[in-house]
Each structure stands twice: as C-alpha cells, then as structure tokens.
Structure 1
Amino acid sequence: MTRLTIDRRALVLAGLAIAVAPLAPALAQKRKELVLAFIPQENPEKLQGDIKVISAWLAKEIGVPVRGFVGSDHAAAVEALRNNDADISFMGALPYVIANTETGAEAVLAEVYRGSPTYTGRIFVRRDGAIESLADLKGKAIAFADPISESGYLYPLDIFVENGLLKRGEDPKRFFGKVYFAGGYQQAMQAMQAGLVDAAGVSQYADLLLTPDQQPQVKWIAESKPIPSHVVIARKGLDPALKAKFVAAMLKLNEPQNVALLKHVYSPDGYVEADPKSFDGVRELAKAYGLMK
C-alpha cells in the first residue's frame, strides 16, 4: 500500500486531461481483436483467471479474438481507451464521466447488483476498535481504494463533508492524520482489518472481499448517498458493428444458461443498457471537487 499525497493526486488527475498521441487510425483498424481493460478492485491474480474465461467466451460469441488485461488503476484504464490500447473497459461511474469528458468514451452497459442499479460508499472500521463515529477518526489514518473512484474515494470522502468535518476541496489531511490509496477495495479493507489503518472508505460491498473469518471483525459507521453502479464503456471510434456485437454478447450473460459466467466480470446480477443521464450527479460532484471542469 502506498501513500499518495495531494500533490501526487493532482498529478494523477491532470494526467487524464493530457492528450497523448493515439495509435495511428490505420493501425487501429488493422487490429483484428477486441481488447478489454479491467480495474483491480479485487485481487489482480484472481482477475487474471477471470479474464481468460470471459475473453474466451466473448470471442466465441463475437467471432473475433478477445484479449483482456488488468490496468494499474482507473487512470490507466482511461488512458488505455484514449490511446486505443483498449476498446472496452469495466470501471466505476467517476472514471467513466472523466473518460467521457476527456476522450469521448461511451457508456454502453450498466451493472445490476443485488437487484439495484445503484449502491453506496461506506466507512468501515474494526468492530473491536475505539472508533464509533466519524468524529472519532480525526487525526487517524484512513485507506481509500483509488483517487479516481466514486465509491472508493469521492463519495466516502463526501460523507465527511456532509457531516461538517471537512469542506469540499479541502486537503483531507486537515482532518485525517494520514490518507492512503491502497489500489483497490480489497486492499483497503485488508489494511483496515489488519490494523494498518483505522478506517477504509470503500464500496458498501467491500467487506464481502474479506475472508468469512474476517467479515465479522469489521463494521460500517456511515454511508453515502446512492451512486450509479459500475459501467462498461467503449472508446470513441470503436467500430459500431463490433461494439453492437459486444453489447449483445454481454446481455446474453443475463440468460439462465450463461449467468454462471457473471462471476468472471465482478459478479453482478446482470447487465442493462446504460442511461447516460444517470451519471449527471456523479459529474456534478466531480466538478464540485475540482476533478472536472
């Protein structure tokens, strides 16, 4: 787990707005495969196995080779789309609205998880610790998942703003003693459960990434407002026919004979076509924090 200062966070965000020369259009057209970028919200080693399974299935359904990879973080996934190094990416609502603004990427599918198209961010702490309220975290250490994550940073941080403990745009270290970005939900939860930090600001479902023995050892003390579920996005300029085949194949995962494959794409209940308007609230909050213009 690495510490990321506010200056470093600014550099990461700024990197999303820097135009990097994409692959030559002719080269992009010659690539006869579909490339998928995944984010490491859980164990990257597990993801590697999942990617092999879902890529092989998609290749049969679509009729072209499908290759996937795990990016280092959300920002890397956005850059892969910008540079034509990836055609499709699975990511959260915040990196999507940034990718949409900066690169023209399009949301094509949205997750349904536990029967809902929305979820929340939560603040988790150890059950046997002394932390009982948000105010108890003053001067303490907190781990978030990723600086470009709605449920792994933006919305959990905003919980402290809504409770009058921070102001939007204020350096979080004016309240917390230390702020870390762990690289994913699972990593942040494990750091908190192990006592390396006092709290974790992550998705409401992040405790499910702990072992069955660890789960009873943690609890949540605050919850954010609803967040649109994770999305599947396509880069600008992706061949419309190939994009349509991909969407049709992914929607087949909702069918009874295919639902077992959903565990290889972050385990949602299924997918629906994305509604761009559902991300307006995320876009406005990102602007309020200076993450977007």
Structure 2
Amino acid sequence: MKRRNIIRSAVLAFTAAALLVAQPLTAAEPSITMAFVPQENPDKLLGDIEQITAYLSKETGVPVKGFVTSDHAAAVEALRNGDADISFMGALPSVIAKHRIGAEPILLEVYRGKPTYRGRVFVRRDSAIETLADLKGKTIAFADPISESGYLFPLKTFVDEGLLEKGADPKGFFGEVYFAGGYQQAIQAMANGLVDAAGVSQYADLLLTPDQQAEIRWIAESEQIPSHTVIARKGLDDDLKTRFIAAMMKLNEPDYRVYLKYVYGPDGYVVADNSAFTNLEALARDYGFID
C-alpha cells in the first residue's frame, strides 16, 4: 500500500503549502533572512544564529538575521512566502522545495572530504537487537518525516532487506514510529531507553555525550546521499545570492573555519551541483514526495 499515513500526510502538507503563489518581498533596503531547522537543541541553535548572522552581515554588507523553524516543512513554507531568503535544510526537503516552489540549492555541506553522507539505524549497545529484522514490533524514533537521513534513507534499509514494501506504512513492521523533531532528539530518545532504535544521520551520535556514545552502536547504514544543503528562495536578488555564497565559501579558509560550528558543524561547503541530487530525486518520486 503506497504513501500511507505519515508519508501521505507529509506530502499533502508540503504540497498544500506549495500550491500558493509566492509574493515578492518589499523591503525598503537589501537584507537577508535565514531559516534554520532544529536538527539539534533549539536553545543552542539560537546562540549559533547570533554568531553566524553577525559574521554574514559583516561579509555581505547587508543586514542578515535568522530564526528557527519548527521543522523542514515550515522552512520551505518560509521560503515560499518570502519570510526567509535562505534556509539550511536536508537534501530531501531541498529537492521538494526545488520541484514545488522553484527554490534553488546553492551549497552543499562537506564532511570528511566529500559532500555526501549516510543514514544509519542506531541501537543501544546493551540491547539484544543485532539486525534490522530484530526490530520487528519494536519502537523507533526518526528525526523528521521530510528528512533524507533522518527518515527516508534509514527506512530504505528496511526495504532493501525485504522487511518493508517500498512506500508502505512503517507501522506495519514497527510497534510504534515516532518523529522526534531532530537528530539530537531522536538519538537521545534511543540512548535514554525511550525507544529501541533511532533512524538518523551517521553523524548524529556526535550530538551525544562521550559516555552516551560509548553506550550505542549502529546496525545498518544506507547508501551515500547528498549532504545537507543551503537553499535560496525563488526570485532572490542575484547580487545578494552572490554575496551570500562568497561569504559562506570563505568559511573554508583557515582564518574563518571557527564559524563552521555555528552552521551545524560541517567541515566546509561546496557549490551545489544539480547532478548530485539525481538518485535522491528518483527515490523521492518513488515515495510520492515529488511528481
């Protein structure tokens, strides 16, 4: 049964927002507003936003401000209606935003030398769970229903193992499925024993304390997927976009790398190449996220 329950709800909510026509900004002077998705502790993120917007304001020469959205769908809605010019988000929501509202992926995060990473399924080290099949009837926490490494690709590992039909309601396999609102929240729920497993980014364990990291392990990982993106709304002034990209690429330089910890902590950035999203777009079509 295709696109049931959570997947269907996520797609319908996303599509409903996208059907509206974006209105142009009418600001008296150039500025940039950024939307941040809470992939970690929102309180920490607020402090990070203050640091990175101060840097970007200086480098771009225009006022830059930021705010935290409730989730990926809210970030795309902010781009659609002009409340945000730029957003940091996962590759899947950026693909949806590109197809639904004409947004443009402009940058990709780099981790360990490449702009790709994997989704993983984590469990506690003291758990008897050794394989994906052992999670039958168990509980799992994902980050967000519109997330590639925090939902779609970890879920795909179960499909690849023949445990789930592509597009089927995951509740047909798991006892309960939860969406925690971010990587840190999902993996914390697992580490604290609130759920049996977490489907998140391969780097989500870095959001735990060293003691917690020693108490968990991963039992499956996905294929390589595009890393998180920086995406611009349709119609953003080309000069502002150019200034913003130049300022972000400057973070690759030794003297400015300290600011990377204020934008989710990647190793750097590369300019986005549309070909990097080909496989993800095909999977998004399989699950009904895009036409």
TM-score, normalisation: structure 2: 0.96
- Rounded to whole Å, the distance in 2 between the matches of 1:28 and 1:37 is 18
CA offset digits 1:55-104 (Å, max 9, x no partner): 00100111111010111000000110001110000111100100000011
Q: Check the 8 A contact 2:142/2:150 in 1, yes or no.
A: yes
- Which one of 108, 115, 118 corresponds to residue 116 of structure 2? 118
Secondary structure, aligned partner of 1:213: helix
* 2:238 counterpart letter in structure 1: P
Q: Hey, what does 1:65 align to over in structure 2?
A: 63
Q: CA RMSD in A?
A: 1.4
Q: Do the aligned partners of residues 140 and 9 (structure 1) sit closer, same or farther apart at CA in structure 2, a change above 3 Å counting?
A: same
* 1:148 counterpart letter in structure 2: I
Report deviation, 1:169. Answer: 1.1
Report deviation, 1:14. Answer: 1.3
- Which one of 150, 164, 167 corresponds to residue 166 of structure 1? 164
- Which one of 117, 131, 134 corresponds to residue 133 of structure 1? 131
- Rounded to whole Å, the distance in 1 between the matches of 2:125 and 2:92 is 30
Q: Superposition pairs for residues 16-31 of structure 1, below 5 Å?
A: 16-18=14-16, 19-23=19-23, 25=24, 27-30=25-28
Q: Hey, what does 1:150 align to over in structure 2?
A: 148
- Which one of 270, 273, 289 corresponds to residue 272 of structure 1? 270
* 1:277 counterpart letter in structure 2: S
Comparing 92-101 with 12-21, greater Cα deviation is found at 12-21
Q: Check the 8 A contact 1:71/1:77 in 2, yes or no.
A: yes
**Count of residue pairs brought into register by the alignment:** 287
Gap runs ≥5 in structure 2: none
Determine if the alignment matches structure 1 residue 211 to structure 2 residue 242. no
- Which one of 98, 101, 107 corresponds to residue 100 of structure 1? 98
Report deviation, 1:11. Answer: 2.9
- Rounded to whole Å, the distance in 1 between the matches of 2:271 and 2:226 is 13
Q: Hey, what does 2:41 align to over in structure 1?
A: 43
- Rounded to whole Å, the distance in 2 between the matches of 1:69 and 1:133 is 40
Report deviation, 1:29. Answer: 4.7
* 2:82 counterpart letter in structure 1: N
- Which one of 29, 32, 35 corresponds to residue 34 of structure 1? 32
- Rounded to whole Å, the distance in 1 between the matches of 2:7 and 2:221 is 24
Secondary structure, aligned partner of 1:257: helix
- Rounded to whole Å, the distance in 1 between the matches of 2:209 and 2:7 is 30
- Which one of 200, 219, 222 corresponds to residue 220 of structure 2? 222
Q: Hey, what does 1:282 align to over in structure 2?
A: 280
Q: Check the 8 A contact 1:28/1:84 in 2, yes or no.
A: no
Report deviation, 1:290. Answer: 1.6
Aligned residues with identical type, % of pairs: 65
Report deviation, 1:209. Answer: 0.5
- Which one of 169, 191, 194 corresponds to residue 193 of structure 1? 191
- Rounded to whole Å, the distance in 2 between the matches of 1:105 and 1:31 is 22
Report deviation, 1:31. Answer: 5.5
Report deviation, 1:125. Answer: 0.2
- Which one of 253, 256, 260 corresponds to residue 255 of structure 1? 253
- Rounded to whole Å, the distance in 1 between the matches of 2:290 and 2:224 is 20
Q: Hey, what does 2:76 align to over in structure 1?
A: 78
- Rounded to whole Å, the distance in 1 between the matches of 2:83 and 2:145 is 22
Q: Check the 8 A contact 1:145/1:184 in 2, yes or no.
A: yes
Report deviation, 1:30. Answer: 3.3
- Rounded to whole Å, the distance in 2 between the matches of 1:165 and 1:255 is 45
Secondary structure, aligned partner of 1:40: coil
Report deviation, 1:12. Answer: 3.0
Comparing 29-38 with 194-203, greater Cα deviation is found at 29-38
Report deviation, 1:215. Answer: 0.5
Secondary structure, aligned partner of 1:81: helix
Secondary structure, aligned partner of 2:188: helix
Secondary structure, aligned partner of 1:89: strand
- Rounded to whole Å, the distance in 1 between the matches of 2:6 and 2:285 is 19
- Rounded to whole Å, the distance in 1 between the matches of 2:30 and 2:262 is 23
